[in-house]
Chains A and B, each alone.
Chain A
Amino acid sequence: MKPAPFDYLRAETLAEAHDALAAEGGDAAVLAGGQSLVPLLSMRMARPKVLLDIMHVEGLGGISREDNAIRVGASVRQADLLAWPELAKHQPLLAQALPWVGHWQTRARGTVCGSIALADPSAELPLCLLALGGEVTLSSAKGRRSVDAADFFTGVMSTARRDDELIEAASFPCRRAGEGFTFREFARRHGDFAIVACAAVATEKSVRLAIGGVADRPRMRDFDDPSDDALRDFAEGLDARGDLHATADYRRNLVRRLGRITMDEARRCRA
C-alpha cells in the first residue's frame, strides 16, 4: 500500500507543464487533487515514472461564464464549484449532482477536471458533461483543441486525451430558458460509487436521459416520446456490466425505474 518510486514535478506555468508532458509522454501522470490517482499509486495500479503536479500552475484556477457556458479550470476543486454562488442559477444539474461526488472530505481536494480526466464509468461529472453537451479544452506544446463530451469518453477510464496533452478546462453549457434538469443516483451509501446515476435534461419537445454506472462510459439518448417502451428499449440496448454490487439485469432494471423518475421530474422542473 505504498506507491512505487516516481519523480515529482511541480509546474508553475502552463508552458512548464506542456514541456514536461512533451518530454515524458505516457511515463508521466498528471496530479491534480489526487483523490483517485493517489490510491491508484498506493495500490500500484498506476506506476508512472513522473508525477506532474498542476495545482500551482498559474491561470488554471478560475470558474467563469464564457459563451453561455460555465468554464471550469483544471485546478478548480469540486467543493469550489459547488460553493460558486451562481451555480444553481446557471446550471441546476451540476448543483444537484455535485453533492453526490464523493464526500465533503474528498470534494475539498478533488478537482472537476480530474474526475473528467479519470473517466470512471460511474462518475457523476463525466455524466453531467455528456448530458449537457459540454466540451473539454485540451492543450499541449503543439496547440489547443476542444473535444465534445460525446467524443471525449472512449471507454472504461479512457479518453481522447493524448499523452502530451493537459486538460485545461471543462465547459458546461448554462441552462437555457424552458429547460428542466434532474439528477438522481442509486448507491449503497451516499458518496459511494453509483450503481446507476441518471441525469435528465427536458426541453419543450424532448427529454434527454444520460446514464452512468451501467456501461463502459456514460451513455445517453434523446427521447421525443419518453414512453416506458422507449425507455425499456434504451435500457436493453445498454452494454450493462455486472459486478459484486449489482448484476447487469439489476442495473438495466434500475435504468428503467430511476430513469422514469428522473425524466418525469426534469419535465416538471421546466419553467
Chain B
Amino acid sequence: MPRLSADTRHTVRLEVNGHLQESEAEPRMLLTDFLRHKLGLTGTHVGCEHGVCGACTIQIDGALARACLMLAVQADGASIRTVEGLAPEPGGLSILQEAFRRHHALQCGFCTAGILVSLDWYLREKPEPTEAELREFLSGHICRCTGYVPIVAAALDAAQRLREAKGSK
C-alpha cells in the first residue's frame, strides 16, 4: 500500500471538465486549493472552508461534493466537473445559467458558482421538482445576500425550459 508522506508533494491526476489534468499536492491540500491554485480554476469559490456554505460545490464522478471537504489526493483518478464546465461554449451560457441571468438570481455572485453546479446535477436527477423540493435541496447552500426568491424562480424556470428542450429533441 503506497504511503504518501506528509512533507512531500505527490502527483495528482484527474479529469476536469473533460480534460486530463495533473499537478502536485501535499496530502493535506484541500481539493478547493488544488483546483484554484494548482489548476487555476478559480470559479470554485471558497466561503466557509468547513462544509457549511456550499460555495465550493463540484461534481465528482457524477455526484455532488463540497470541494473543501475533500483532499486533492482523495480525488486522484476521479472525474470532476466544476462551474467552468457548465457553459456549452466560450461566451455562451447554459439554460440554467441563462435563467439565473434573466431572473437576477444573484446579487454579489459569491454563492452562485456552487448553486449552479448543484442545480445542474439536481435538474438532471429530478426534472420536475416542486418549489418545496427545490427549497429543501437549496438548504445545502447559503446566500448571504439572501436572494433566495429569484434563485428558486430561476431554478423552476430552468427546469421547465430544460424539459422543453429535451422534449423538442
Residue ranges of A at the interface with B (Cβ–Cβ < 8 Å)? 1-12, 16, 20, 31, 34-35, 38-39, 41-43, 49, 51, 53, 55, 77, 79, 99, 102-106, 108-109, 189-191
Interface centre among A10, A39, A103 (most CB of B within 10 A): A103
Name the residue of chain A whose CB is nearest to the CB of B52. A39
With contact pairs A104-B122, A104-B140, A190-B136 given, residues A7 and B3 touching in the complex (Cβ less than 8 Å):
yes
State the total of A-B contacts with C-beta under 8 angstroms.
105
- By a CB distance below 8 angstroms, the chain A residues around B70 are 34, 38, 109
Residue with the greatest number of chain B CB neighbours at <10 A, chosen from A12, A105, A109: A105
- Which residue of chain B has its CB nearest to the CB of A16? B1
Contact of B28 among A2, A34, A105, A191 (CB under 8 A): A2
Report yes or no: B66 in contact with A109, Cβ–Cβ below 8 A. Answer: yes
Given that A5-B28, A8-B73, A35-B69 are contacting pairs, would A108 and B64 also be in contact in the complex, using a CB cutoff of 8 Å? yes
Chain B residues near A9 (CB, 8 Å)? 1-4
Check A38 against B27 for contact (C-beta < 8 Å): no
A106 neighbours in B (Cβ, 8 Å):
51, 66, 69, 140
* Chain B residue contacts of A55, Cβ below 8 A: 74
Q: Are B3 and A105 in contact (CB under 8 A)?
A: no
B65 and A109 contact, CB distance less than 8 A: yes
A81 vs B163: C-alpha distance when bound (angstroms): 28
A-B contact pairs, 20 of them (CB 8 A): A1-B49, A5-B6, A5-B7, A7-B4, A7-B6, A7-B27, A10-B1, A34-B69, A34-B70, A35-B51, A35-B66, A38-B70, A38-B71, A39-B50, A39-B69, A49-B6, A105-B118, A109-B63, A109-B64, A190-B139
Within B107-126, the residues touching A (CB, 8 Å) are 118, 122
In the complex the two chains form, is B49's CB within 8 Å of A42's CB? yes
Convert B42-56 into 0s and 1s, putting 1 for each residue whose CB lies closer than 8 angstroms to a CB of A: 000000011100100
Contacts of A10 in B (CB 8 A): 1-2, 4, 73
Given contacts A53-B74, A105-B65, 5 further A-B contacts (CB under 8 A): A8-B4, A8-B71, A38-B71, A99-B136, A104-B137
Q: List residues of chain A with CB within 8 A of the CB of B168.
A: none
Q: State A109–B65 Cα separation when bound (angstroms).
A: 6
0/1 string, B3-23, CB within 8 A of A gives 1: 111110000000000000000
Docked Cα-Cα span, A35 to B28, in Å, equals 15
For B122, the chain A residues whose CB sits under 8 A away are: 104
Q: What A residues does B65 contact at CB under 8 A? A: 105, 108-109
Which of A4, A42, A189 makes the CB contact (< 8 A) with B50? A42
Q: Contact between A51 and B30 (Cβ–Cβ < 8 Å)?
A: no
Please report which residues of chain B, range 127-153, place their CB below 8 angstroms from some CB of chain A when the two chains form the complex. 136-137, 139-141
Report whether A109 and B50 are in contact in the complex, using a CB–CB cutoff of 8 Å. no
Q: Which residues of B contact A189 (CB under 8 A)?
A: 139
